[in-house]
Amino acid sequence: ETGVTQTPRHLVMGMTNKKSLKCEQHLGHNAMYWYKQSAKKPLELMFVYNFKEQTENNSVPSRFSPECPNSSHLFLHLHTLQPEDSALYLCASSQGSGAGDTDTQYFGPGTRLTVL
């Protein structure tokens, strides 16, 4: 596998369920990101990790819990979500520190989440 992969690609869950989204990058990058893309809204940055340490939390509700066990894997744990959390969740990675003045992000295909 190459690039950034995300599983599952589609997920339907009830408001009382607990589920997790998985992201894996095969690019040797040090930084990983979670974005949310709701219908008719711009991509919203949720979390940023650099070298497994969270460096950005964009005021995300606690029902979204990220985990970065190593530089290649990123999870988003979901619990007691609301219907308005239905969206496309995108993962990205980049070289991060050491990339110089610019740092290109590589995105996965996303997980389409529907909360009933």
Contacting positions for other proteins (CB under 8 A): 4, 31, 33, 35, 42-45, 48, 50, 55-56, 90-92, 94, 96-97, 99, 101-110
How much of the chain is in helix, strand and coil states, percent to nearest 5?
5, 55, 40
C-beta of 50 vs 71, nearer to other proteins = 50
> At closest approach, how far in Å is the CB of 16 from other proteins?
29
Evaluated on CA atoms 36, 41, 16, 110, the torsion sign reads negative
> At closest approach, how far in Å is the CB of 21 from other proteins?
13
* C-alpha to C-alpha distance for 111 and 93, rounded to whole angstroms: 15
C-beta of 11 vs 48, nearer to other proteins = 48
Which two tokens mark 90? 């995108």
C-beta of 66 vs 108, nearer to other proteins = 108
C-beta of 75 vs 107, nearer to other proteins = 107
How far is the first Cα of the chain from the last one, in angstroms, to the nearest whole number? 32
Single out the residue of 51, 33, 35 nearest to residue 98, CA to CA: 51
> At closest approach, how far in Å is the CB of 85 from other proteins?
19
